[in-house]
Amino acid sequence: MQVITAFAVFSDNNDLTEGTCMQHSAVAENSWFMPAEWVPHAATWMVWPHNQALWESGWGVTLAEVQVDFARVANAIARFEPVKMVVDPSAALRARELCGPNIELLELAVNDSWCRDSGPSFVCHPQRGVAGVSWRFNAWGGKSEHDLDESLARRILNGLGMDCFGTPLSNEGGAIHVDGDGTLITTESVLLNPNRNPGMNKAEMEEIFARLLGVKKTIWLPGDPQYVTGDMTDGHIDGVCAFAKPGALLVDATRDQGSVYAEVVRENRRAIELATDARGRKFELLELFEATDAVDTEAEVFCASYTNFYICNGAIIMPAYGIAADEEAAATLRLAFPGREVVPVQINQLAHGGGGVHCITQQQPAWPLKG
């Protein structure tokens, strides 16, 4: 039977100011670190979509269709590990209807549904176990209401009884990738955007990554500096590339060399080829060609990047679009992740909102840490 959790911090009546985060300056350097996504998970966190105006007025899809896509992703992950779904109380009945009985629903007031960005980034410590970072979430530079989502990470961590680390850095989980071996990759078009961190420079951001995430080297890609994609994130890294292992990256690619996006792909690829990781390694690259045939040309934005996959226990949850390119992407992912089952999940309606599987999921590492 499906569980609805309603302990205090997850209650709709909860005081959103309850609980605090330790500021990053109080965190000792080189002790906490963010594990790679492929380490074993205790759970995957998601947030159920409920904001009809955002989806139907903003992206031109029906909320009901988007909810089906979210449920597909959640049910696919639940085959491999626990899924904890934050649900606004107004949408609890619909979530119960579509989510399988082994998905835990947690009632909590929220604005939107992108847990990768508004949820916590979990970190680990050799003696103190698991905690989390609550980034200063401002809805990708104030693009939508976020009075509830700005405290979501803190509320989740308080509910779990975990330490919460705050920071002045405006950031989202989808803006960073780590390899668990000291390397972080991000994009200039997001973190250096005046709508995120005016007045803050790279060195200051890198110090925060070192202190909170155990990062020894930050690699900066251009991202989408001219914002040609119309992506509301301004060019998140999880649409550009993803680690397969330390020293190896899956990179977004396009066969449409005449498109405006092709130059974005080339510039990011060039920056990756020039970079080395925290251990001085050049990157082994494997291309994932975009789902160009799935793109709705009438849509304001469409996430066609197969790099927006999610690594869960024993599997890769892959965005799929019902086109021939899905199988090519699946074959590439099988090559990159031997021993993991590749599970394609069709997400065309979610893609109309500018996101993919990775955008709506957030991993909580298992403790003690393994792998």
**pLDDT digits over 358-368, tens only?**
999 999 999 99
pLDDT bin (cut points 50, 70, 90) of residue 15 is: very low
Q: Give the residue-averaged pLDDT of 318-339.
A: 99
Note if 99 is an active site residue.
Answer: no
Contact 174, 185 (CB under 8 A): no
Distance CA 316, CA 300 (A): 28
Task: Match 């916590």 to its residue by tokens.
Answer: 120
Residue 25: the pLDDT is: 62
What residue ranges define each of the domains in the chain, with the CATH number in brackets? 4-362 (3.75.10.10)
Mean pLDDT of the chain, nearest integer: 93
**What is the model's pLDDT at position 20?**
74
Residue 286 scores a pLDDT above 80 = yes
Longest dimension (CA), the chain: 54
pLDDT for residue 24: 64
Q: Calculate mean pLDDT across residues 238-261.
A: 96
Share of the chain above pLDDT 70, in %: 93
pLDDT of residue 370: 81
- The reply to whether the predicted model has a pTM over 0.85 is yes
- Hey, what are 193's tokens? 């955007």
pLDDT at residue 17, rounded to an integer: 39
Asked if the peptide bond before residue 368 counts as cis, ω within 30 degrees of 0, the response is yes
Question: In the predicted model, is pLDDT for residue 301 greater than 50?
Answer: yes
Q: What is the pLDDT of residues 18-69, one digit of tens each?
A: 467 877 666 655 689 999 999 999 999 999 999 999 999 888 899 999 999 9
Residue 7 has pLDDT above 60, yes or no: no
What string of H, E and C letters represents the secondary structure of 196-256?
Answer: CCCCCCHHHHHHHHHHHHCCCEEEEECCCCCCCCCCCCCCCHHHCEEEEECCEEEEEECCC
Note the pLDDT tens digit of each residue in 159-213: 999 999 999 999 999 999 999 999 999 999 999 999 999 999 999 999 999 999 9
Q: Work out the average pLDDT over 262-281.
A: 98
Q: What is the pLDDT of residue 51?
A: 96
Contacting residues for 16 by C-beta, under 8 A, at least 6 apart:
109, 148, 151, 155
- Sheet-wide strand order for 121-125: 22-23, 164-166, 129-134, 121-125
Residue with tokens 């020293």: 247
Q: Select which of 99, 115, 303, 359 is catalytic.
A: 359
pLDDT band at residue 230 using 50, 70 and 90 as cut-offs: confident
Whole-number pLDDT of residue 240? 98
Q: What confidence score (pLDDT) does residue 14 get?
A: 40
Q: What is the pLDDT of residues 88-135, one digit of tens each?
A: 999 999 999 999 999 999 999 999 999 999 999 999 999 999 999 999
CA distance 246 to 278: 9
Question: How far, CA to CA in Å, does 41 sit from each of 316, 366, 368?
Answer: 13, 5, 10
